[in-house]
Amino acid sequence: MTEPVVRTTSGQVRGEQVAGVSRFLGVPYAAGPVRFAAPAPAPAWPGVRDARRPGPTAPQNHREFPGLDASVLTGTGWRPGPDYLCADVWTSDTGAGGLPVMVFVHGGAFVGGTGSASCYDGAAFARNGVVLVTINYRLGIEGWLPVDGAPANLGLLDQIAALRWVRDNAAAFGGDPDNLTVFGESAGAVSVACLLRSPLAQGLFRRAIVQSGHAEMVHAPEQAKLLTEHVAGQLGVAPTAEALRTVPVQRLLAVQEALAVRGPDLRDASGAAPAHGIASFLPVLDEESLPERAEPSTVDLIVGSCAEEMRLYLVPTGMIDALDEQQAIAMLARTHPEPEAELRRHGLGTDGRSPGEVLSSTMTDLVFADGARRLAAEHAGQAFRYEFGWRSPQFGGRLGACHGVELPFVFDNLAAASGPRGLVGERAPQELATQLNRAWVEFARTGRPGEVGHSALTWQHVETHSGE
């Protein structure tokens, strides 16, 4: 096994080469975070830094799904360490030059996850001629809670700092800094949609892929203020950066955990909540990093979702079978102004499906598909929209085309998510993984997705509002 060495803007890093692919893990793209402050460039280090093992992760609680190993997508929990604002890089040839670069932003409801989760191994992308980068960023209270005395959207600022680092270091790994595609899933997809709008990210990437997310999952300042006041009240401190810096990280995590069970009412004046209860922490509209009205982006765009997103949340827990009509209505009433009418429009009481099944399809549209359709239609540049329909056989086939199920196919890494408790079961179609990975690579290379002949994926070239 060879150990390639690359010089970055902060110093040299030693990786390792496996099966013709070089990987560099845990490379800092920013300084160890000063709590509730904007990210700063990573300081220089002497000698050669060891980049052969995964780096630390952002502080987080580990979430499990009954009967399902979700750690392949979320990681195995918090790996403490100061340098968790770091990147993993895969490349087939550090000396090649001119390879397209792709940067992946992980999901996790803005409170969990890591770019080093096993599904996100970038070897398949590298073998297909891409420099693949995954990143960590700040989560939860430290990353997404707006407080006086600190910039808003610190997690988003981390992502922008990572994109700048990739631009400045892409050539060292064989990449083209002028051909960068940023892509993400779930909270990572919301992040990418926000990067499209952020004036601070303009010019840092040429293309974007938004997988199961959109730019409507954001808090207005008044909603964010309610969350900030609630968190500060639970912690017993003032809602300021200075006060929050005194609170131990473990205490912040305990409050985040409690929020998952019971939190403040974040509905707007219309009675709707932007993420319909899926996440409490979200990007917040902010004049500097995420203005409500922004210059339209013209980068090439892919946006899409899975056909049965909400089954990930309702099937493993058994809720899909446990809910009666009134309970389904009550659940949607927490985040929607007209819950019964919305569920009736989706077939409640008329199409023979159980209330839980109807709630699943309703929330799949409300949380994911509707916003994806609008993002594609309103985009000022070239846009492609997809729906991923391959159905996982897990839970007797009922898990279906759930949230996150496309990721092992995108990374052509079915082995990571296979097995008795694996997201894709034991006989997922390799042909689909091969085709989907190459489609993403072709998009990064040319701006148009490659051919996917498998029936599980449907494409639409969207007529955008710009008339292109």
Relative orientation angle of helices 154-169 and 187-197, to the nearest 10 degrees: 80
State how far the alpha carbon of 99 is from the alpha carbons of 76, 299, 398, in Å.
Answer: 32, 19, 40
Query: What is the DSSP secondary structure assignment for residue 364, as one 8-state letter?
Result: I
Count of C-beta atoms within a 10 Å radius of residue 95? 10
CA 132 to CA 170: how far, in whole Å? 10
Q: Which residue type sits at 400? A: G
Rounded to whole angstroms, the Cα distance separating 69 from 75 reads 10
DSSP-derived 3-state class of residue 163: helix
What whole-number distance in Å separates Cα of residue 290 and Cα of residue 221? 11
Q: Residue 381 class from Cβ within 10 Å (0-12 exposed, 13-18 middle, 19+ buried)?
A: middle
DSSP single-letter state for residue 322: H
Amino acid 15 reads G
Q: Contact at 8 Å (CB) between 120 and 156?
A: no
Residues in CB range of 176: below 8 A, 6 or more apart: 97, 98, 99, 100, 101, 170
Active site residues: 186, 309, 403
Please count the other Cβ atoms lying within 10 Å of the Cβ belonging to residue 292. Answer: 11
How many residues are listed for the chain in this entry? 468
User: By C-alpha distance, which of 102, 187, 120, 185 is closest to 153?
Assistant: 187
Beta-carbon contacts of 275 under 8 Å, excluding residues fewer than 6 positions away, are 217, 282, 335, 367
Number of Cβ within 10 Å of residue 413's Cβ equals: 22
Beta bridge partner(s), residue 301: 208, 383
Q: Rounded to whole angstroms, how far apart are CA atoms 348 and 19? A: 52
The tokens for 50 are: 């060891």
Residues 85/31, Cβ–Cβ less than 8 Å: yes
Q: Give the distance between the most distant pair of CA atoms in the chain.
A: 69
* H/E stretch holding 460: strand 457-462
Question: By three-state DSSP, how is residue 338 classified?
Answer: coil
Q: Which helix (H) or strand (E) holds 184?
A: strand 175-185
